[in-house]
Structure 1
Amino acid sequence: MVQVGPAQGGTVEIEFTAEDVARTRFAVSPLWEVVASVRVLKGADDQGVHRRWAEQVRPLLAAAKVDLTPLSRLIALGAECVPSFLVPPPTTPQPSLEVELAALRATPLELLRTTTPGVQECAAELRENPGRELGRLAEVIAAYWEVALAPYWPRMLALFEGDILNRAIHFAEGGARRLFDDFGPQVTWDSGTLQLVRRSSRGRRELGGRGLLLVPSAFVWPRIFSNLGSGDWQPTLRYPPRGIGTLWEQGPQPCSDALAGVLGRTRARLLAELTAPASTTDLARRIGLSAGGVSQHLTALRAAGLVSAHRTGRVVLYARTGVGESLVGDGRRYGV
């Protein structure tokens, strides 16, 4: 089961060996975002972080006549977990939805079991005819994806990649302690042990040399979902990335008038927008310039030592340097 971890309840202590630290990795999961976003549409967004997205996609889903029943029945909102077979941990850093759906269709019969309250009957139906029912479930997920998530995926992926980049830098700077020190109050690191607050369980867990899989997720905030004991699967934490509050924003980020006077309004805005690493395409969309124009400004900012560029796969992400952070922070601190 993939369990929800709130800022209350018991504490699970996850023990790391040197091999576990060596095998800890990051990945993104389109399939998980499908499941987590359906939870949001069912009401799991108390803070309204995804309200703008939900208001946009609900009428689109209705117009496309996407029947979510086969999937929705497996996601019990009041339950403290999600069936593990529905969201197996990704085995590669950035799998496509098609790859994850192929794995879902091939789920072994013995894994189609769950103790999640409210979904046992649905799981039993899957076990009666797994080929047909899993195929039907995959078709529903694919149809939902095309309407509700595919148009937003580049933006989401940029957020995930930026968060992974930031955390990789943190790990390089200060090891595992630095990696985990801003996951929020639910997660703390102490002497080779990761302490995770969970709603209904406590105790100690050993990773067994498998390491920990860290998956940034847009639709879990403010919670962390964990899967620490599902057979041979790698133990997994799904967590909200940095900058999640800006994911659906359409307005520009405020920038300092004083900084704009030195750098120019456009370059100051670009620097202000880099609250998390972003691609040229994403920045161009935000501030209304062509990608080529943004690229020219970023080149100038990079030459001045205010931004750095990092390639992640086929995408180049730009991030503020320490000097850039100081300039933006000082301008806001003094209200200029």
Structure 2
Amino acid sequence: MIDFVLGVEDLADTRFAMSPLHETVLSLRVLREPGLSAIHLPWRRAVLERITARDGAGALDAEETDLLRALVARRRTIPDFLTPRPETFAPSYDEQLAEVRRVPPERVRRDLVAAHAPDPLPPVLQDAVAGTDESLARFRDGLCDVLARYWNVALAPQWRQMRLVLEADMTYRARQLAVGGARSLFADMHPNLRWRDGVLQVRGLIGPDRSNPSRGGLLLLPSVFAHKPTPPLDPGEPPRLLYPSRGVATLWTAPEPVDAAALGALLGAPRTRLLLLLETPLATVEIARRLRVTPSAVSQHLRVLHATGLVTRARDGRQVLYRRSGLGDRLAEFGTGTGTG
């Protein structure tokens, strides 16, 4: 069990973030152990087809696939150097992978051994750890290259949908905190978590019990692929906690097909054409120019689309930019080719 001791200032500094690199590394657990989560089996089947395709873009060979699976220890732990702490709310995958490329070889060696202890390292990792710092640095960089290709094939195509799930979870948690305080924030996060007297207890972990002072707030990371709350292996790491996100069960479910003509009948031809245009953020005047209609006509349709949750808006200086929402994206995906006259 791990106790995070959170004072008043620590709670004030507690924040949320999301990490594409964390998700990438955690997904290797499902890739290695299909029985870990039946929810992710559709994703796993699709990814295995893509990474093993002979002529597929980004396909991995057998040695590269074995290397990725070897990163996950028998007890499902993962080396800490592969999960750097996000310093911003939503860092890009390339930004986080660049951090891994800067990790000193001695830490790479230490974290690989610690993740697999007390078991020996898999053969594919033993040679790297036994080599010089120079050879270990080359191993680290080669591993980052493989992880970059794996991301492009396995998660990048779904990252937008995954991000919507994670953002929805954080919105829910923030409301729980605002309404009921820290007790409500952690109440239904996971059965292994318990908040009591200023201490967040994380149970169900392998290893010795320890107590961690928060030292500046706790970083909370909702995760699609986490199956239980997970802190860093190293007690010296700044405190962070990955936890299973809400809404994951619907992530890999294919939406019901939408009849294109029905979309036009539902929204009308002008609003359908407008929705299809808003793949990127645009201002009202620019929309009117492209559609060759008046700004007032565009504003009227935008009000309806925004009120029904199909578009979002944000101010940029003196103008307001409109863009399709996640719901609007799903409708537009099946609406391409509808009548737009």
Is TM > 0.5 for Structure 1 vs Structure 2? yes
Partner residue of 1:69 out of 66, 70, 74: 66
* Aligned-partner SS, 1:216: strand
Q: 1:212/1:229 Cα in 2 relative to 1: closer, same or farther (>3 Å)? A: farther
1:270 aligned residue? none
- 2:162 touches 2:224 (CA, 8 Å); kept in 1? yes
2:285 aligned residue? none
2:115 partner amino acid? T
Answer with 150-159 or 187-196: which moved more: 187-196
Q: Please report the RMSD computed on the Cα atoms of aligned residues, expressed in angstroms.
A: 3.4
Partner residue of 1:150 out of 135, 144, 156: 156
Structure 1 position 206, deviation (Å): 2.6
- 1:14 touches 1:195 (CA, 8 Å); kept in 2? yes
2:7 aligned residue? 17
Q: Kindly report which structure 2 residues correspond to 1:246-257, keeping only aligned pairs within 5 A, or say none.
A: 246-251=250-255
Structure 1 position 134, deviation (Å): 1.2
Structure 1 position 45, deviation (Å): 4.0
1:89 partner amino acid? R
Q: In the alignment, does 2:179 pair up with 1:183?
A: no
The gaps in structure 1 that reach 5 residues or longer are 1-10, 253-265, 268-279, 282-291, 320-336
Q: 1:204/1:115 Cα in 2 relative to 1: closer, same or farther (>3 Å)? A: closer
* Aligned-partner SS, 1:136: helix
- 2:30 touches 2:37 (CA, 8 Å); kept in 1? no
Q: 1:127/1:183 Cα in 2 relative to 1: closer, same or farther (>3 Å)? A: farther
2:129 aligned residue? 124
2:114 aligned residue? 115
Structure 1 position 297, deviation (Å): 5.8
- 1:228 touches 1:236 (CA, 8 Å); kept in 2? no
Task: Supply the distance in 1 between the matched residues of 2:204 and 2:191 (Cα, whole angstroms).
Answer: 11
Structure 1 position 247, deviation (Å): 0.8
1:197 aligned residue? 203
Answer with 49-58 or 39-48: which moved more: 39-48
Partner residue of 1:50 out of 15, 19, 40: 40
Partner residue of 1:240 out of 238, 244, 247: 244
Q: In the alignment, does 2:161 pair up with 1:165?
A: no
Q: Which has the higher contact order (CA 8 A, sep 6+)?
A: 1
Q: 1:172/1:297 Cα in 2 relative to 1: closer, same or farther (>3 Å)? A: same
Q: 1:38/1:130 Cα in 2 relative to 1: closer, same or farther (>3 Å)? A: same
Structure 1 position 107, deviation (Å): 0.3
Q: 1:45/1:24 Cα in 2 relative to 1: closer, same or farther (>3 Å)? A: farther
Structure 1 position 50, deviation (Å): 0.5
Answer with 141-150 or 192-201: which moved more: 192-201
Structure 1 position 178, deviation (Å): 1.4
Structure 1 position 59, deviation (Å): 0.8
- 1:57 touches 1:147 (CA, 8 Å); kept in 2? yes
Q: 1:49/1:195 Cα in 2 relative to 1: closer, same or farther (>3 Å)? A: same
Q: 1:55/1:28 Cα in 2 relative to 1: closer, same or farther (>3 Å)? A: same
Q: 1:154/1:175 Cα in 2 relative to 1: closer, same or farther (>3 Å)? A: same
2:139 aligned residue? 133
Task: Supply the distance in 2 between the matched residues of 1:151 and 1:185 (Cα, whole angstroms).
Answer: 32
- 2:229 touches 2:242 (CA, 8 Å); kept in 1? yes
- 1:16 touches 1:206 (CA, 8 Å); kept in 2? no
Task: Supply the distance in 2 between the matched residues of 1:126 and 1:243 (Cα, whole angstroms).
Answer: 44
Q: In the alignment, does 2:29 pair up with 1:32?
A: no
1:323 aligned residue? none
Question: What's the TM-score once normalised by structure 2's chain length?
Answer: 0.68
Structure 1 position 199, deviation (Å): 3.0
1:207 aligned residue? 213
The gaps in structure 2 that reach 5 residues or longer are 257-265, 268-277, 280-298, 328-341
Task: Supply the distance in 2 between the matched residues of 1:54 and 1:43 (Cα, whole angstroms).
Answer: 10
- 2:202 touches 2:229 (CA, 8 Å); kept in 1? no
- Larger Rg over CA atoms: 2
Task: Supply the distance in 1 between the matched residues of 2:172 and 2:127 (Cα, whole angstroms).
Answer: 40
1:325 aligned residue? none
2:13 partner amino acid? R
Q: In the alignment, does 2:296 pair up with 1:299?
A: no
Structure 1 position 189, deviation (Å): 1.0
Task: Supply the distance in 1 between the matched residues of 2:211 and 2:7 (Cα, whole angstroms).
Answer: 12
Percent identity between the aligned chains? Answer: 34
Moved over 4 A (4+): 294-298, 313-319
* Aligned-partner SS, 2:202: strand
Which structure features the higher share of helix residues?
2
Question: What's the TM-score once normalised by structure 1's chain length?
Answer: 0.69
1:322 aligned residue? none
Q: In the comparison of the two structures, how many residue pairs are matched?
A: 267
Q: 1:32/1:190 Cα in 2 relative to 1: closer, same or farther (>3 Å)? A: same
Q: In the alignment, does 2:180 pair up with 1:174?
A: yes
- 1:229 touches 1:235 (CA, 8 Å); kept in 2? no
Task: Supply the distance in 1 between the matched residues of 2:248 and 2:106 (Cα, whole angstroms).
Answer: 36
Structure 1 position 301, deviation (Å): 4.6
2:139 partner amino acid? E
